[in-house]
Structure 1
């Protein structure tokens, strides 16, 4: 992708946020003969607001980024002063400015030491200055900068809105945003893998490498800004900017936020256009599932298409995951090849099937024709084997497709309901352990936990049992958590666990003893193992738990 040549000049605000260093350069503060006593290396912190402070309990009302002006009247005993400095530092105060005079002719040593210990920038004014003049000057600078930010954001939003109304596409929007933030921008779909990327001035290889590092949480990954995209009430992915050319500013955060709204608008427009097109060219099974084709018409139309079977078996299928660095267009082509192979194999095996193919980020619908309901499991096994082998060939991922199967039924009315059930089971199946296919009519444990994932008691149950172990592994870089997973998977059989983990038995026994000591449990007790196993299954459903925890 190429970048628009005039994007930066139209969207970047002039100047920058007022920092402590810039504030000290203002004439009004220079007139006070300022001396940076502590924190000379932190003068580039931005100032959000200015307060004149002479009371001790100010910390509770601060939000961070404040420049505090004082004559030091709030200082008292050494213990209270140290506590006050600690509270100000925790609140993220930009700097503390104390005017020397009758109250304090020199800065108290305990204040200087406390500021050094807590990293709070401390500045002394050796000449008197009217605090109201300081606040007026700084607030004027801050308000001017904020107005410039908002004006710049409005210009960017107006430009992108005009583009969207002119039927502009997401790649064009991202090119403008990349120029605005002076860095590459990526649109990642909801379940992983990018859809579009604006390279800005970087090469595709460099951006792909940076994106890989970011998604894998590698320490060398560039800083990222991101915001969620929504269409209606559902998430539609996220926009991510990578700081590869320059560090981010407050203006960049605002630009990303405003652009996200425009991208969501474009997505809604495109979905509406797709919906209109789909109503005109709706697939047979899709129309049946959405109630747009009465069952009697479905039966007649299926006969004209050569699909005649006494028993109908509905299924829903989608990609199990998306490659982090593979564009949507490439994955669509790969899945087209997968479906070509599946159709060819089904014909060769003389299996009766109808398939409504969907893009790689959507759900495809399948209807198998059987002679008898007793053939359900064997038919699903055969079909799943064909699909999973084709997926493995083309995308190189075992169990690369998620397959949800409904009931074997005799009527097209029931078949349509079975398609709905199979699609509804998809979200839970995506959170379950990989398997050749999922039974939509059997709510297994993983899908049950997924359906209850909003219940706070479940998360509390899992955290109470496992957080101690997780914290221990993070602090000591040990693998007790994965050892516990494997032990529970093998129902407490230690010899098999040692072989699975490639450990000597004594090493495993040592790990088990440490796990039992940390958790205060006996892993030989079956009820204890059951509770921990359930906690592990619950934790898999929690969004805040990192994927790399799972063995």
Structure 2
């Protein structure tokens, strides 16, 4: 109805809106011209009624009944030309239209109703043609994505672009599998998602992702501009593409996708704000508030892979534990959320291979730092299966400052003679030094760790001391050498 006011023939007739506001947002399906007071019986809804009111009654009660019948018939609005029956709009009819939120426009000047009808119908037909063309474009878009086997996040992203609004794919537990916030921060689009999602929120459009009698979740579009083909149509096309993809995937595909997306974004520092990370983690079923959070990184050869799946890890930490696990290149990384006061026992990590485990942290910023730290620690050879950050303060220090050029220079300066000797003579002095610093004050244990006899071991010690000029009995020197090895 709002668009009707912009038509030239209507503007020339000096239109005045008597009932507007939200009523002008009513969609016009067709135009009907009639002066009869019984016209409502001939309408199907959505019509723009053009009238001179020549056949209308004059009594207030009859005019109120007429307005009520038009509203009940679903008329989009009424355009009343003054001068034939009424010189001014009847107050009773105006009041009744306002009560029914029925758009009412009066024309002070005479207008060619045939010209109005033609202009409105031209726009309607043009809109229908645009909708058909857009449906065809969407069909080609989503068919192409299906044939190419596009990733779930790509389908969600293209859906958000088509609708110009945030789009969320959620599973049956209301946890976010993939999302594209479009022009909103994720912290706003996904805020309190598990609680908000089940509610009927105005402006949200949602369709199921299902096929062959199996439902996997829903595709949800948050408020956005109208779409020529209809927002529901866009979502239905996208949901069909996602369902076809889901049929060809393993049962835990969405669980893995959720973890891969989140951990990949964390490792790649692709989140702009900490609030976005926090919201996305919680919307994906990984609680943050009031929990003990841990980061785990496995050595590149950590096996078996199945033991690192999110479900397998979650079973290790009990029903209250929540895990996200992913394989990022050669690395295996995981986040664990446990109730406050919980800890990670060694037995819960058995069978996962060599790994590094962070201290318990609170909040997203600490979790990001912990993940970065354990990844650096897991990248180097470790003594034993599990390296707990809390038990290795020097290793933590070396990992935190490993990228600092001064730390690199310290390592080069102290170890250069040993590296040169090993490279030149195929020696094992670096390995022996590792055993020494791992067992300070216990030469027998150090010799055993070096797989050398005590006599040969002591020869190596003498050579190390000679090449480096270091006193291997001095605690400060050993600490410096240990730091250089860790770096």
TM-score by length of 1: 0.45
Greater gyration radius: 2
Larger RCO, structures 1/2 (Cα 8 Å, 6+ apart): 1
TM-score by length of 2: 0.50
